Amino acid sequence: MEELTKITSASINLFGHIITFNPNVFYMTWLVMALIIIVLFLCTRKLTVIPHKSQNIVEVVVDFIKNITYSTLGKEDGKKFFPFIMTLFLFILISNWIGIVPNFIHFIGVLFAGAHKLLGSENVKITYEGLTYIKLYPDPNAWYAFFFKFPKIEEPTKFLSTDLAAALLVFLVGHASAIKEKGFLAYFKGYMDPVPSHAPWIFFFFLNPFFYLNIIGELGKVVSHSVRLFGNVFGGGIIIFIVATLLRHVLLPVGLYAFFGLLAGSIQAFVFTMLAVTYISLAK
């Protein structure tokens, strides 16, 4: 249970100030970005009129997000924001999925070690503690031993800093676009509603209580947008860890990771993207 409260941290001295941060956030974020680039390159390097399997999968995902973006923002704005929305969806999706990789690799190692043990090998030790605790100890020199040594990978979206950064990016993109289209004055007047905002009332905006309420409402969207994703991803990780620790069965944790990593991770990526499109539409 100590792993639940264990946080990796590092510190740097920047202009006389000690800044403490979690290096795993940076490592995992760059890993996800690299995976997205590699996967998309491999899937799209040989595009054909009649799509092959990998191209077909990419096209289905792209068309799905494209339809959502165009139907919410309209064709003109949808075309402009689609690259951003598509990138955001892929980043959240891969970030949610990446945590299951070491667990499936470890499970493959368990299968090889178990098969080796059944064939009569003395180099694989197995322990039983009741019906729910089964653990294999393979020979360090066995060819499949690296499956048990695969490094731990954490989902970037399990850290609130990543989710908050993504939500802030959506906020900035939406409001920067609104200012560009409406002009700053018309954009600023939007925070006066429902009190009249025409001159000279606009010069007394600081007396308008709705001005502050509207600002709080916009900031509240950022908080709810980020915390919703963080809570679901982090909460799913806690459930998996607790159940796996209590039962310690070789199959159950893998099934839980498949559910929370693949299914729930996909749903959370979709929800975050839908909210991003909606918030950009409302900001405009």
State the DSSP code for 198: S
The C-alpha atoms of residue 103 and residue 118 are separated, in whole angstroms, by: 22
State the DSSP code for 262: I
Q: How many CA atoms lie within 13 A of 130 on its CB side?
A: 6
- Report percent pLDDT > 90 for the chain: 26
- Ranked by mean pLDDT, the top range of 15-24, 34-43, 129-138, 171-180 is 171-180
Q: Is the omega angle on the peptide bond into residue 194 within 30 degrees of 0, that is, cis? A: yes
What pLDDT score does 129 carry? 58
> Which pLDDT tens digit goes with each residue over 84-111?
999 999 999 999 888 777 777 777 777 7
The C-alpha atoms of residue 31 and residue 102 are separated, in whole angstroms, by: 14
Domain that holds residue 148: 2-283
The C-alpha atoms of residue 207 and residue 10 are separated, in whole angstroms, by: 45
What residues pair up with 137 in beta bridges, in sequence order? 125
- Per the listing, tokens 């066995």 go with 142
How many folded domains does the chain comprise? 1
Strands 17-21 and 133-137: unpaired
In this predicted structure, the answer to whether residue 196 has a pLDDT above a threshold of 70 is no
Q: Model pTM greater than 0.75?
A: yes
Note whether 259 and 266 are within 8 A (CB).
Answer: no
State the DSSP code for 148: G
Note whether 218 and 279 are within 8 A (CB).
Answer: no
For residue 166, name the pLDDT band (cuts at 50, 70, 90). Answer: very high
The C-alpha atoms of residue 89 and residue 66 are separated, in whole angstroms, by: 11
The C-alpha atoms of residue 112 and residue 144 are separated, in whole angstroms, by: 7
In this predicted structure, the answer to whether residue 130 has a pLDDT above a threshold of 60 is no
Among candidates 169, 145, 166, 141, which has minimal Cα distance to 156?
A: 166
Number of neighbours of residue 68 by Cβ within 10 angstroms: 19
The C-alpha atoms of residue 216 and residue 209 are separated, in whole angstroms, by: 11
Specify the range with the lowest mean pLDDT, choosing from 32-36, 81-85, 95-99.
95-99
For residue 2, name the pLDDT band (cuts at 50, 70, 90). Answer: very low
